[in-house]
Amino acid sequence: MKTKNLVRAISVSVTLVSLPWLAAQTPAPLPAEVVRYADTVLYNGAILTADDRFTIAEGVAIRDGKILAVGTSQRVLSLAGPETKKIDLEGKSLVPGFFDTHLHGAWVGNIAKRGRGGRVNFEDKDRAFAEIKKMVEGASPGEWIVLSGPRTKNFYSVTRRDLDPISPQNPLVFITQSQEVLANSVALKLANLPPEMPGVLKDAKTGEPTGQLFSFAAGVVTYDVMPLPQVTEEMLANQKTVLRRLNSQGLTTIIGRGQGLTTSILKELWQRQELTARVRITHEFTRLNPQLESYLKRMGNLSGFGDAWMKIVGATVQPVDGTTGDAAALSAKRKIRRRPEDPYEWGANKWLAYGPIQQEDPKERTEWNSILLANRYGWNVTSVHSQGDLGTQILLEAYAEADKEKSLQGRRFGFDHGLMRTPENFKLAKQLDVIPSIGPKYMFMGSPSTLIFLYGADAVHEMTPVKSLIQMGIKPVLEADIAGAYSAPLWLMEKLITRMDEKGTVWGPQEKISRQEALWMKTNWAARYSGDERISGTIEAGKLADLVVLDGDYMKVPEQEISKIPILLTYVDGRVVYDRQRDGDVRTPLWDRPGAFGVE
């Protein structure tokens, strides 16, 4: 009893003596800069994190442009303070911001039409010449007239002798979608091409240049000789307009080929902090460049250079083949029919580096050497057009040759479009760790009638084999290739999930993918394509708060209605860049017209 009383007395004494010291050690309230509540909390929703396990949560908290926490509604609401914006999702889906891995029309700087110009089709030559003459008459002396248009059989029959009487004083060039060029004598004189320059087509009798240019010769005219406009406020405004339209589709990261002007425009907006989407440039300085090694030595390796907003992700080279639209995809499968306007007399789908100039050895192709040089100096090569399976095999074999000198593993080399692919393509791509980007537009933008005509319905069922890629352990990504109505991520995802065209026909049902796989292709897997997997692509704590709120449940709506789910909110860096209630439908009739806002 005495012992207990003694212990109690000592305990009380120690406590009394300690109280002043304890009071002195009580920490003062921490400043707001040290401890802050979340800026925004979204709760009571279906949070599709798109992580590797495809975790589904109820809420997400955002602070300072990053994801603070993901979990139950109770968990994220506990991070809210008096000034936190709280949004009840009411069961709606929240997904990571969408990527597009190959998007033409996203950059207003990629304009081939410098000076007075337009689009001309040489299918009716007399009509085309009349249109060109009218443009020349309205031009200033010496002003460049740069035209664009499809590659048809008549294109190869036109020479500078046809253009010179129409434009005797103005440099005039016509550029096809594969950057084959037709130039008049004034433009050729300004280009001052050396006699040994690859890609100058000459008359068989006279040995004089015909004005038809391919390969390096075409590159000199389109990149080096034609005047480059200065960045203007109008260009900057147009670029912001295009990005806002893409934001309205839920796009938060855009990857695309970029020329010098593109880089300058985007850099200016980056400096002004006026970008509303993260931009990733695959630079075109390697494209059709006869002095490529000199450029590489002078520039050094800039692959991956930049920050979370703007980054150069690599370089691109000229197309390996043409497109199915002009029957120029290089495929092992021969066409069963040909159209009168096909530029290839032999009727097969063989595409050659110099247009009508035959080159049998793929290693003599300009893109082969460009790939080897770019890799040698540390650049990764990506955003490369490749439609046909044979064209893809040539590209991948060039990658394999480059890999012998410097490994491609983890370097994010890519090849795009993915219309016609074979198991041989898959095997080599997996071996080299090369990432395929897939574009559904070639089959489903309208109906695949052109493909059916050229190759037959049975062949179309085998095209765009996405499920086969995934089953081989490859993680393909999803591209639009064209801005406008068809760049909407949900439309692209729906097409790969349903494989259904606008008439209700299902093409290649064995290649259908799941909703989960489609979302991965547009977010998680796409982030690796641009080297952003550590900072974005999934909804996880510590990653960038690039998010999209859908007005519906992505996992439950009927498959054929996925594309109809409205985008309610698009966040980039935790900031709302599109609010459907505030901004409405930001599209205009111009939005779906080629050339809108200065965009090709």
Res 302: pLDDT: 96
The predicted model gives 148-176 an average pLDDT of 90
Give me the pLDDT at residue 34, please: 64
**What does the H/E/C string look like for 226-252?**
CCCCCCCHHHHHHHHHHHHHHHHCCEE
At 354, which amino acid appears?
A: Y
Instruction: Encode 555-571: b = buried (16+ Cβ within 10 Å), e = exposed.
Output: eebeeeebbebebbbbb
What separation in angstroms does the CA of 143 have from each of 115, 130, 231, 471? 7, 18, 19, 54
Ranges 78-92, 141-155, 435-449, 582-596: which has the least confidence: 582-596
Q: Is the dihedral of CA 144, 148, 151, 157 positive or negative?
A: negative
What's residue 160's pLDDT?
A: 96
Question: Cβ neighbours of residue 284 under 8 Å, at least 6 residues apart?
Answer: 223, 257, 258, 259, 315, 316
Q: Is the pLDDT of residue 571 over 60?
A: yes
| Predicted TM-score of the model (pTM) | 0.90
CB 217, CB 248: distance < 8 Å: no
Give me the pLDDT at residue 336, please.
84
Residue 401 has pLDDT above 80, yes or no: yes
Six token digits for residue 9: 């007395």
Q: What is the pLDDT of residue 78?
A: 96
Tell me which of 41 and 442 has the higher pLDDT. 41
Which tens digits make up the pLDDT trace of 350-397?
A: 444 434 444 445 555 677 899 999 999 999 999 999 988 988 998 999
Residue pLDDT, tens place only, 225-281: 998 888 999 999 999 999 999 999 999 999 999 999 999 999 999 999 999 999 999
Q: With bands split at pLDDT 50, 70 and 90, how would you rate the model's confidence at 8?
A: low
Q: What would the pLDDT profile of 103-117 be if each residue is shown by its tens digit?
A: 988 998 875 444 556
Which residues 6+ apart lie within 8 Å of 248 measured at CB?
Answer: 567, 570, 578, 580, 583, 585, 586, 587
Q: Which has more pLDDT, 34 or 11?
A: 34
Residue 10: per-residue pLDDT: 44
pLDDT digits (tens, 9 = 90+) for 126-141: 999 999 999 999 999 9
Give the model's pLDDT for residue 358: 44
DSSP classification of residue 307: -
Q: Percent of the chain scored above 90 by pLDDT?
A: 69
Contact of 526 with 252, CB cutoff 8 Å: no
Q: In this structure, what are the phi and psi dihedrals at residue 357, rounded to the nearest 5 degrees?
A: -85, 120
Of the chain, the percentage scoring pLDDT greater than 70 comes to 86
* Residue 395: C-alpha distances to residues 86, 283, 368, 408 (Å): 50, 18, 7, 14
Q: What is the rounded distance in angstroms from the CA atom of residue 148 to the CA atom of residue 179?
A: 9
Mean pLDDT, residues 184-191 taken together: 96
Q: What are the residue boundaries of the structural domains of the chain, listed by start?
A: 125-225
What is the predicted pLDDT for the residue at 330?
A: 82
Neighbour-count burial for 417-447, b at 16+ CB within 10 Å, e otherwise: bbbbbbeebbebbeebbbbbbbbbbbbbbee
Residue 141 tokens, joined = 């002396």
The predicted pLDDT at position 123 comes to 84
Written as one string, the DSSP assignment of 130-191 is HHHHHHHHTSPTT--EEEEE---GGGGG--HHHHTTT-SSS-EEEEETT--EEE-HHHHHHH
Is-contact 269 239, C-beta < 8 A? yes
Residue 195 neighbours by CB distance under 10 Å: 8
CATH class of 125-225: alpha beta
- Asked if 430 contacts 115 with a C-beta cutoff of 8 angstroms, the reply is no
Least confident interval from 3-17, 86-100, 289-303, 516-530: 3-17
The residue-averaged pLDDT of 557-568 equals 97
Half-sphere exposure of 585 (CA within 13 A, CB side): 7
What was the pLDDT predicted at 588?
44
- Pairing type for strands 93-96 and 46-48 reads parallel
* Contact residues for 361 (Cβ-Cβ < 8 A; gap 6+): none
pLDDT at residue 528, rounded to an integer: 97
Structure confidence at residue 149 (pLDDT):
82
What mean pLDDT is predicted for residues 189-197?
Answer: 91
Across 5-17, average pLDDT: 47
Most confident of 46-50, 315-319, 595-599: 46-50
